[in-house]
Structure 1
Amino acid sequence: MNDCPRFGVNYTPSRGWFHHWLDFDLDDVRRDLDAIAGLGLDHVRVFPLWPVFQPNRTLIRARAVDQLVALVDAAGERGLDVNVDGLQGHLSSFDFRPAWLSTWHRRNMFAEPDVVEAEADYLRTLAAALADRPNFIGMTIGNETNQFAGEPHPDPDRIEPEQADAWLARLLAACEQAAPAKSHLHSFYDAAWYLDDHPFTPAQAARRGFATAIHSWVFNGTAQTYGSNSVAVDHHAAYLIELSKAWSLDAHRPVWLQEVGAPAPHIPPGQAAEFALATIANALDCPDLYAVTWWCSHDVDRALADFPEVEYSLGLLANDGRVKPAGAAVARLAEQVRRDWAPPPPRRTALVLDLPEHPGKRSICAPGGAFFEAYMNQVAAGTRPAVVLAERASDAAHLDARGISEVRRSSG
């Protein structure tokens, strides 16, 4: 893939956060989108709240769908393309699952046929409403839906990897049926890559959907273990991108850095711009990067209670629309990349990962794990490492397709 990567942001409304769907005001949305477009970004990722849009298993609210279409149209008027996350799901430490899945109506969102069909109907409805919009990129099934399937969630819906795969296939097919010319995908948080025996697997992450979505957060132990000014912090997103490519069947599958942010205090506020520039520059050095989408557009209003402290200051824009230092840095970098883009050369040296898909000790890939540290040691020594699975380390055709000319073994 030689196209210049896209630059965008996850849209967090400045007034009311995602609760704005309960009191939707298109003028507020337009003002926010003006500020985002003013940064020179080209897309947003938006989040309908699932209980607001589908409060009953057989009721999808037409007015809410119309409001989503109005938001997408307003974005298009400002030159912004839109990806829509369907099943919200989980956002900034809060769960938003409809009442028909909880307490007295407790059912497994991944495994029970009538529930899965209701989810498919919901995604199909959203995708169909937007299918003719030229600025509609496509659907993401939901935001980090794998967090509902296991630890550390306090009340997970237990499934096996085969059930997880069937669920992904069914819901991606629903999106494709409703909007066949669009680019649909799913997103995981990093348990899929790092957590032993998690039911959603690296192969599913890297083989289902049009691209692999990476959500790179250094509060996952990276910053705590290695420090905010470390190789591991600056290269965490690039590491996840390269780790994902090891599991892909397509040597040049697009990878979307769909969430990345500078969480305080793990990244001190005064270092946020520097962190953004280093993280994105290292991600851009990975072949086949489709897009960088920062989390998030606007800071959470401090009038809203009970968010973890980290969530209040992740925006490129302050809650009143002022551009923050990280926002200015990302805007400058996006402009520079569009002007001077040249695809990165292949990563010629690959570190061998000996790990079965499931079950497997994925924790060797996590911060502090043997493979993670082997990779970061290679980076610190000046190597641009790729990652290759042990089963493909002698596959000349696979290595050649990826441009790999040397493989190195690691204790991981």
Structure 2
Amino acid sequence: MRFGVNYTPTRGWFHHWLDFDLDEVRADLDSIAALCLDHIRVFPLWPVFHPNRSLIRPRAVEQLVQLVDAAAERGLEVNVDGLQGHLSSFDFIPSWTTTWHRRNLFTDPDVVEAQAEYLRTLAAALADRPAFLGMTVGNEINQFSAAPHPDPDRISSAQAGTWLRAMLDACEQGAPGRTHLHASYDAAWYHDDHPFTPAHSARLGAATAVHSWVFNGTAQRHGSTGSATGLHAAYLIELSKAWATDPHRPVWLQEVGAPAPHIPPERAAAFTGTTVGHALDCPDVWGVTWWCSHDVDRGLADFPELEYGLGLLTNDRRVKPAGRALARMAREWRERLPARRTTALVAEAGEESARGRSMCAPGGRFFEAWMRAAAQGMRPAVVLAERASDAAHLAARGITEVLTVDALG
């Protein structure tokens, strides 16, 4: 079981790439390693590294390698997100894709070729580093493909799949055999018409990435202490398995955090323990990567209020209660292996078109039924309706009982 954190630099946030200071990075990494964590996820800013379609800055790539080497010196492995993309409410898109050069991020041949070369270049630069875990294509880049983004690059589900395969292939070409994957925000699981689908998440790449944020309606509906709020990450993990073709495909809880005011600061540690505990009760979880390492400096303007205080550590590197809670679990829970979930709840959601996703969203009929069952002590897995009578599929997952939502009452 792996425990890690999404690295948010204390000096300059992700703008630190503009004034890269390896000593400051080392100090940040020291404070992370002291929490008994074993990996970080890092975020090159795409426009900083790739400011022109034909220019990938060698100095920026060199600094990324220096960061990965510094992490390795502290016993930390590193996953690198490539296309940033979207971070904490800000979009970071190169000028050669916007305004006078406006081109679709997912379908324009020149853009797609340049993105692939960028990902290939980053992966190749790190391919010989033992601490390099692999690439994530980008941080929730699916948010650029549909509403509520104010200027979406509209695509079909087929086009989304084609783009994802091309980006993952580029990562593999750069660093063969590493753990390369992609990451969507939860519209992929919950929005009926979203072009990035659950099947994309659960079948493409080396693992399924889950990003669990309870400000999506879960905490608003169930409250900060509601059982569904603490179970949301586990629910997404189990939901993801319904679409996987590999019955033991690893699932990475790659982002999860305690956003105020939905989770009051005084409850952040308890929420951390509850959320991680439920997540680690799911089989086939690769690990948990908390969002985020350090609070955002309040000298930086225009962040949503909740973004400033999500760190496990303060901006001056002092450990917060949530940090102590995760460190304790990293020490005590790393060797735990959960039992198989033998009872599955049937989701009436289509496999290919992913119709019926809204029933699986907070407030949806399936979501609420699963949460009631889990709150009553059941450990429900999830199976798609068209697989509910597939004996081989059920046996491969260790499922011996299948229940419908109606049967729960």
| TM-score, structure 2 normalization | 0.98
- 233, 238, 261: which one pairs with 2:234? 238
Distance in 2 separating the partners of 1:372 and 1:388: 13
Work out whether 1:399 is the aligned partner of 2:394. Answer: yes
Matched position secondary structure for 1:186: strand
Work out whether 1:349 is the aligned partner of 2:343. Answer: yes
Q: Is the Cα contact below 8 Å between 1:109 and 1:116 reproduced in 2? A: yes
Work out whether 1:323 is the aligned partner of 2:319. Answer: yes
Matched position secondary structure for 2:328: helix
Distance in 1 separating the partners of 2:356 and 2:209: 22
Work out whether 1:140 is the aligned partner of 2:140. Answer: no
Q: How far did 1:361 drift?
A: 2.8
Q: How far did 1:49 drift?
A: 0.1
- 87, 92, 112: which one pairs with 1:91? 87
Work out whether 1:303 is the aligned partner of 2:299. Answer: yes
2:257 aligns to what? Answer: 261
Matched position secondary structure for 2:282: coil
Superimposed CA distance per residue, residues 356-390 of structure 1 (whole angstroms, 9 cap, x where no aligned partner): 13251311111000010010011122100000011
1:375 aligns to what? Answer: 370
What are the equivalent positions in structure 2 for 1:95-134 lying under 5 Å apart?
A: 95-134=91-130
Report the number of matched residues: 406
Which ranges of 4 or more aligned residues in structure 1 deviate by more than 3 Å? Answer: none
Q: How far did 1:185 drift?
A: 0.2
Superimposed CA distance per residue, residues 12-39 of structure 1 (whole angstroms, 9 cap, x where no aligned partner): 0000000000000000000000000010
2:59 aligns to what? Answer: 63
1:289 aligns to what? Answer: 285
Work out whether 1:30 is the aligned partner of 2:26. Answer: yes
Distance in 1 separating the partners of 2:333 and 2:220: 31
Superimposed CA distance per residue, residues 262-313 of structure 1 (whole angstroms, 9 cap, x where no aligned partner): 0000000000000000000000000000010000000000000000000000
Q: How far did 1:181 drift?
A: 2.1
Superimposed CA distance per residue, residues 77-103 of structure 1 (whole angstroms, 9 cap, x where no aligned partner): 000000000000000000000000111
Percent of aligned positions with the same letter in both sequences? 72
Distance in 2 separating the partners of 1:358 and 1:319: 44
1:184 aligns to what? Answer: 180
- 339, 352, 356: which one pairs with 1:361? 356
Q: Is the Cα contact below 8 Å between 2:348 and 2:356 reproduced in 1? A: no
Q: Is the Cα contact below 8 Å between 2:217 and 2:362 reproduced in 1? A: yes
**Aligned residue identity for 2:339:** P
1:334 aligns to what? Answer: 330
- Consecutive unaligned residues in structure 2, runs of 5 or more: none
| TM-score, structure 1 normalization | 0.98
Superimposed CA distance per residue, residues 124-174 of structure 1 (whole angstroms, 9 cap, x where no aligned partner): 000000000000000000000000000110000000000000000001000
What are the equivalent positions in structure 2 for 1:188-267 lying under 5 Å apart?
A: 188-267=184-263
Matched position secondary structure for 2:182: coil
Matched position secondary structure for 1:146: helix
Q: How far did 1:204 drift?
A: 0.4
**Aligned residue identity for 2:394:** L
- 23, 35, 38: which one pairs with 1:39? 35
Distance in 2 separating the partners of 1:217 and 1:359: 21
Q: Is the Cα contact below 8 Å between 2:29 and 2:74 reproduced in 1? A: yes
Q: Is the Cα contact below 8 Å between 1:218 and 1:233 reproduced in 2? A: yes
Distance in 2 separating the partners of 1:103 and 1:149: 17
Taking only aligned residues, the RMSD between alpha carbons, in angstroms, comes to 0.9
Matched position secondary structure for 1:235: helix
Q: Is the Cα contact below 8 Å between 1:197 and 1:361 reproduced in 2? A: no
Q: How far did 1:343 drift?
A: 1.2
**Aligned residue identity for 2:179:** S
Superimposed CA distance per residue, residues 188-213 of structure 1 (whole angstroms, 9 cap, x where no aligned partner): 00000001210000000100000000
Q: How far did 1:354 drift?
A: 1.4
Distance in 2 separating the partners of 1:16 and 1:281: 33
**Aligned residue identity for 1:72:** V
Distance in 2 separating the partners of 1:379 and 1:406: 15
Q: Is the Cα contact below 8 Å between 1:110 and 1:159 reproduced in 2? A: yes
- Consecutive unaligned residues in structure 1, runs of 5 or more: none
